Each structure stands twice: as C-alpha cells, then as structure tokens.
Structure 1
Amino acid sequence: MTLEPLPRQFIDADRIFNLRDLGGWDAADGRKVRTGRVFRSDNLGMVTDADVDLLVNRLGIRHVIDLRRGEELEEYGRFPETGGVEFHHFELLHVKWENIGKDYPEGADVVPFLRQRYSAMLESGYRSVKDSLDVIASGEPVLFHCMAGKDRTGLIAAALLSALGVGEEDIAAEYALTEFGIDRWRAWRDANLGRPGFESGLRTPPEAMLETLAEMKARYGSMVDYIAAIEFDQSDSLRAQLLE
C-alpha cells in the first residue's frame, strides 16, 4: 500500500508502515549520514515473505533490534528467524504509561507529557540505548523498532543522530516524520480491521523531541554527554561508519 506523497526517507512495504532510512541528514563537519545503513520501523510481527525479502535481500539488513517488552513480542509477534540476520531483544525499560494514572493528553498538553516520559525512558532504558548503539557501530546494516516506531524507536534515533552531529531541528524533523507512517498504518487498519471508536497517542509533534533534547541538555549537558555517561565509547567508530 502507498499513501502519496511520502517523504523520501520512507520505503514502501506490505505490512511495515513506518519503515524509513535514517540517512541523508546533514551531520558533523559538513558531512551527511550515509543512506542504506540504518533503518527504523514499526512492529515487524506482521511481515510478509515479500517484506522479509525487501529487508534482507534488497536493503541488506543484518541486525534487527526489537525494543519492546517481552509480552509485546509474545502478543504481536517478532521478526521471523532468518538466515544471515541476527535478532537482538533490547527492551527499553520504562514505567508502563498505562500505569501512570494519567490519560494521554491531546493538543498542546502532549508536548510536556512526552518530554517527561521520554527523558525518564532515556534514564531507565539507558542499557538498551547503549546496546543498540553498540550494534549500530558494528557497521553492518541495522533496523531497530518498537510497536508504532514512535517513542522508543524515536529515542534511539535521537541518540544516534546526536552522536553523528545532526542538528536538533533536524532530529526533531526526523521524529515528526513518524506521523506519515502512523497514518499509513491507520489507513490499513481501518480497511482491514475496522476503525476503533476512540484512539489517542499517535502524534509526534517536533516540539516534543526538541523539549526532550533540552531536558537532556539540562540534566547532562547534551545528548552527546548523556551518551558518554551511559558508557558508550564508540562514537568515533560510529561516525567513521555512518558519515560521508
């Protein structure tokens, strides 16, 4: 399926709705992030044979990083065991949002809500951030994902792009692209499963990521300083592998 127009970063697939390339952004020292090396997506539990062929044979992905909770893997499925692809389950630990006792806000209130959740997730889930960056620094093509490819996936992308020297405005713009993927998923869901009576929590305003980056700056000095604090020590290798 395809909804037009799609930004250049997106890759069309049968049952992956938020699949996109993290390459192409302006980065450190006037360089750019390489394309065809790091990808992000939503849940891979519904992939078709054509999707697997796309990921493995056309995109050349050799590592899949699943950031979800164990029960999410069990309920919604995971990327199938596939020759030549190493599967990593790096749960990004966090307090379940549904246990917080607050309804998911709408409108302007969503920005401080997401900033609070995201900064907390980066602290409680730091091991997943480090482990994910370690795999990406290996230099082999990687895809990382969660459920919608929005929150946990967005934080790994923000950490990676920060390490590569991508500017904050571009990191926030990359995060905001998720709404295109979510709209594609909603179109498929409504046509195949039916439209729910109510839904929330599907927006990715760029201000939420900008405020998260500002919060990490206040806590650590910058996202790059946060990455150093969680003992990721391969930033030079990461830049050598992923910048051109």
Structure 2
Amino acid sequence: MSPDFLPPQFIPTEQIFNLRDVGGWNGADGAKVKSGIVFRSDNFGSATAADLDRVVNELGIRHVIDLRRHEELEATGRFPEIDSVTFHHLELLHIKWELIGVDYPSGSAESEIVRFLRHRYSGMLEAGYQSISDSLDVIARGEPVVFHCMAGKDRTGILAAVLLSILGVSDDDIAADYELSNVGIARWRAYRDATWGKPEIDGGLSTPAEAMRQTIAEMNDRFGSLENYAIAAGFNKADLLRERLLE
C-alpha cells in the first residue's frame, strides 16, 4: 500500500513497513492515549537513511526496544548506534513455533489461524513475562519510544496489547490495533515481490482481530486482567504509565 493511502496510525516510510503510532485510542476515564510518544514497528534492517531520519529527528525517538532473538539481530541487524537513542535488547522469550510440532496453518480457514495464534500468544505471554515487564518500565519513562520484533505483529502485538489494556483501551480497540498489521504485512510482501520475486509458498500469517480478542479473554480468565498479569510479571508502575501516556 502506498504511503499516501495508509491508515492514519501509520508513519509514512520507504522501507519500514509496519511503523505506527500506538496513541489515539480511547483510554481510561474518558482520556485518550497520547499520540507521538509510543510507536510499534517491524525491524529496521531495510530502513533507508530517510526512514531513520524520520524516526530519530521527526518522531524524536529516544528509546528502541528490540524484542527479537539474538540470531534475528545478527541476520537483519539492530537499530543503528545513535548518540541520542538508547537501545534496549529485551528478548521476548518463547519456544520457536517451528519446533512445537503442530502444522503451520498457512492457507487455512481463519478459525484455524486464530486458534494457532491464540495458543502461541498465551505461551509467549507466559515465557516472555520478563521482557514485557522490562519493556513497560522503559515505556513508563514517558520519553518517545518504539518497540519492535521482526514483522511487528506477534511479539510486538502482545506488548502493545498489555500496554493498551493498562491504559484502559477496550479489548475490541486493542484487537483493531493488532489487526492493522495486515496492512504492514501487505506492504512488506509488495516490497519483497518487487525486490526478490514472489515465493512459491507465501509464509507468515495474517493478524485477525479475533486472535487477539481470544488471547486477551484467556489472560483475563487466568489473571483477572492484563494489568494483573503485568503486576504478576513484576511491573509496578501502572499509575505512572497512565499519568504519562493519557491525556
């Protein structure tokens, strides 16, 4: 999708495909989540100089949270070392999906994709609790920050869900924010096809809103709320987060 026709949450970029503002959603007590403070993204391995200039100088990003595994950083590179930006490698631990022994439901009905993703996401939240807590601590500083994984949809989507839930955003709006990654996926695939050619089998899954709704429902059933989950994970700055990120 051309940058001229992106949904308003997206930041127009050349070769970052899923960079968008987490703000703008309705939050607790009639407040709104501030825009221009917290961003979510895919990785920056293909970013152009103009893209990085936009991130650092236009958005004013001061913290980059990378949720990926070490080998993923080595394969595509980390965010460049820039004096004004603090880099945080906070790997969100999880068992690699390809090792679980369950068929990858590419091309399956949406209900099968939702079931597959819900199971993986609840596992990520359980195994990756320390990354979630540490990432929220960085975000609670109230300084412009971007967090990302590879495609900016799964690990990034989980952290965004916990953050937005603490800020009082409704489950449906959190799921809508998550589903926007379908736009980023489409942009990446268009770039890939034009650059390297379209593969015979198109790997990767879509981001149906129902997958996030069911994940939230499962965590609410287990912990009472995503905020309670974050507290159990060691995060104790929910009030500060709301103070700094709601308006």
When normalised by structure 2's length, the TM-score is 0.97
* 2:48 is the alignment partner of 1:48: yes
CA positional deviation for 1:224: 1.4
SS in 2 for 1:12: coil
* Structure 2 counterpart of 1:141: 144
CA 1:3–1:62 in 2, change beyond 3 Å: closer, same or farther? closer
> Structure 2 regions of 5+ residues with no counterpart?
none
* Structure 2 counterpart of 1:119: 122
Q: Write the letter of the residue equivalent to 1:234.
A: K
1:12-51 maps to which residues of 2 (within 5 A)?
Answer: 12-51=12-51
* 2:178 is the alignment partner of 1:175: yes
Q: Write the letter of the residue equivalent to 1:8.
A: P
In 1, distance between residues paired with 2:117 and 2:206? Answer: 10
Q: Write the letter of the residue equivalent to 2:157.
A: G
Pick the aligned partner of 1:216 from 197, 216, 219: 219
1:122-201 maps to which residues of 2 (within 5 A)?
Answer: 122-201=125-204
In 2, distance between residues paired with 1:231 and 1:79? Answer: 27
In 2, distance between residues paired with 1:239 and 1:54? Answer: 27
CA positional deviation for 1:168: 0.2
CA positional deviation for 1:200: 3.0
Residue pair 1:3, 1:184 contacting (<8 A) in 2 also: no
Q: How many residues of Structure 1 are paired with residues of Structure 2 in the alignment? A: 244
CA deviations on 1:35-60 (whole Å, 9 max, x unpaired) are 00000000111222111110010000
Runs of 4+ in 1 over 4 A off after TM superposition: none
* Structure 1 counterpart of 2:63: 63
Q: Write the letter of the residue equivalent to 1:159.
A: V
In 2, distance between residues paired with 1:63 and 1:153? Answer: 15
CA deviations on 1:91-130 (whole Å, 9 max, x unpaired) are 0000000101122112220111111110110010000000
Q: Write the letter of the residue equivalent to 1:230.
A: A
In 2, distance between residues paired with 1:114 and 1:4? Answer: 31
In 1, distance between residues paired with 2:205 and 2:18? Answer: 12
Q: Write the letter of the residue equivalent to 2:71.
A: E
In 1, distance between residues paired with 2:79 and 2:237? Answer: 27
Residue pair 1:46, 1:77 contacting (<8 A) in 2 also: no
* 2:231 is the alignment partner of 1:228: yes
When normalised by structure 1's length, the TM-score is 0.98
SS in 2 for 1:149: coil
CA positional deviation for 1:202: 2.6
Q: Write the letter of the residue equivalent to 2:117.
A: L
CA positional deviation for 1:3: 5.2
